[in-house]
Structure 1
């Protein structure tokens, strides 16, 4: 089986797995315990936080481990909302956020919050003007993802963040898809909080992190919590944190190398499908603001679900969108937000590349995809 679904999850790297096993043996204590074994775990946890915080230009004391990127999203938003005045109950977000946040914001609407869902342009971009036009006197928080997992679109969070900082409005960004793939600097990016995840960067599943800048006041979702400075209850998974940090360091060191690799593969794919432009449409083919490892494709006349199953039959793992929405009959929400009709949106498939993806594997996949289309 050739794996082409890296945007959904990645396999653990050998280094990350080795670090996990070493930490599980040597730093198994509860990091909150006061004895020496607990101290070993605490120091391992501290070193892991420092390594990850350094990657984003932050302070390790502001980094809080969570059970996933989705949980990091929800805890970061709710903690920030708990810290602002109740009158600041207007939130600005987008129609193309990850399902963990989109559904959470929908719930907040039933709890007295006013939420504005910004519609992207036809390329999936959210402009600064769009954000400014929605700001009200009672706007307290804006949340805009850095990179979309289905479209591969990158938002200009630095420019948006600078504008919001000047107005004293809190800014959160879901950086789960971009962490380790794009440079992120929490201070230069003018973000108050970001969310990241381990299993997107060849680390273990079941651990993510939220970073909240010292300038942003927050209050715990569950009062009385002692772990992670009150941010999240429960004993911290120190081995997973150490493995997360190892994976983060490795992917950071190879960021430029990976980008070059993905751009070459993307160019190869574009060239290969050029004779089939009437059937295969690569969304945002000419856009600069994209994650090059995500190839969102619409195949005219064939449903993505059928193509995904056929590709699987031939030994290729691809997807029809975010793994967090698998099982839902509706087409990807991000495509509908672009103005693509429902029938066309159901003809979408996503190919996502990883560091292990070889040119010959992508070539083999492309030939298979074309063969399936020609014999449909």
Structure 2
């Protein structure tokens, strides 16, 4: 089977797997233990934290390992809210956030916060001006994802972060889909969330970064691990493998970016005769979209059917974010672009990885055309 669902998860790289195995044997101790075996784990964890911090232009002291991107999102936001003035009850986010944050902000509404959910423009963009217009005197925190996992739109988080910094408003960004794929620097961003399994590292580990100068309080009082950020013994081998994957992907990021853009252009060219039936969303916005994500609408055919047919012919694609599988609602990012619920259900997503080839794209295009012609 040809795998075209890298935005959902990636296979673990040989190098990351090698480091994981090596660390599991040599750094198996509890990194909080004071004996020599614990010290080996602590040093391994420190080195991993430094690599992650350096990869985003941040201070290693602000890196906190988590169980993944979703936990990093929720715990980072809640920890930041715990450190805010109690009068700061207004929050800003978007209607396109990952389900972990979207549902969490909905919960915060029920707990007394006022939350503004910003809509995107027709290209899936959230502008700085729309953020500024939403700000109120009691706005305490803004959270806007860097790159959307369904339609691939990229938000100007550095620009937004700089403006919010000048106003003294805390800014968090979910960078799970963009980390390792496009440039990311936290100089003007207070907090971000990233994940290992999106960049060929192990599943079950991610990280939150909070600028050490930003005030926050733990979600669970009395926690000692990760400087009080979250409870539980840290998975040191996974952290080492995560750092290895991060270092590897940063080294090859530009080459991968160009490779993905070439594949995306090829797909567009091959489908041009069928553009009335098979549409790539956001193509007009290609300079502000992730090149590894192909958001596709197949007119008149439900995405679930197309996905299953692709699977039958040996291609693994999805109907949106894997974290929303099982929900009957259409992809909310597609609806946010102005499509009806019924139209949005005609959506499928293909996403590239480092092993995706031009031949894969040619064969995938042929299968899509066959599905449309035989429907």
Is this a same-fold pair by TM over 0.5? yes
Q: How does 1:83-232 map to 2 (within 5 A)?
A: 83-187=83-187, 190-232=188-230
Quick one: distance in 1 between partners of 2:362 and 2:151?
22
Give CA-to-partner distance per residue, 1:271-303, whole Å, 9 cap, x none: 000000110110111211000000001000000
Quick one: distance in 1 between partners of 2:59 and 2:211?
8
Aligned to 1:306, the other structure's residue is in SS state: helix
Q: How does 1:1-376 map to 2 (within 5 A)?
A: 1-187=1-187, 190-287=188-285, 288-376=287-375
Quick one: distance in 1 between partners of 2:123 and 2:340?
15
Following superposition, the deviation at residue 214 of structure 1 comes to 1.8
Aligned to 1:254, the other structure's residue is in SS state: helix
Quick one: distance in 1 between partners of 2:8 and 2:152?
12
TM-score normalised by length of structure 2: 0.99
Following superposition, the deviation at residue 59 of structure 1 comes to 1.2
Quick one: distance in 1 between partners of 2:242 and 2:259?
23
TM-score normalised by length of structure 1: 0.99
Following superposition, the deviation at residue 18 of structure 1 comes to 0.4
Following superposition, the deviation at residue 215 of structure 1 comes to 2.2
Quick one: distance in 2 between partners of 1:257 and 1:264?
11
Quick one: distance in 1 between partners of 2:355 and 2:148?
22
Question: How many residues were matched structurally?
Answer: 374
Give CA-to-partner distance per residue, 1:237-260, whole Å, 9 cap, x none: 000000000000000000000011
Quick one: distance in 2 between partners of 1:65 and 1:87?
30
Quick one: distance in 1 between partners of 2:86 and 2:336?
30
Give CA-to-partner distance per residue, 1:187-237, whole Å, 9 cap, x none: 1xx110000000000000000000000221000000100000000100000
Quick one: distance in 2 between partners of 1:215 and 1:302?
51
Give CA-to-partner distance per residue, 1:297-329, whole Å, 9 cap, x none: 100000000000000011100000000000111
Following superposition, the deviation at residue 355 of structure 1 comes to 0.3
Quick one: distance in 2 between partners of 1:99 and 1:123?
20
Quick one: distance in 1 between partners of 2:145 and 2:248?
24
Quick one: distance in 1 between partners of 2:256 and 2:306?
28
Following superposition, the deviation at residue 77 of structure 1 comes to 0.1
Aligned to 2:142, the other structure's residue is in SS state: strand
Report the aligned-residue RMSD: 0.5
Quick one: distance in 1 between partners of 2:212 and 2:199?
26
For structure 1, which runs of at least 5 residues remain unmatched after alignment? none
Quick one: distance in 1 between partners of 2:218 and 2:124?
34
Aligned to 1:137, the other structure's residue is in SS state: coil
For structure 2, which runs of at least 5 residues remain unmatched after alignment? none
Aligned to 2:284, the other structure's residue is in SS state: coil
Quick one: distance in 2 between partners of 1:130 and 1:153?
16
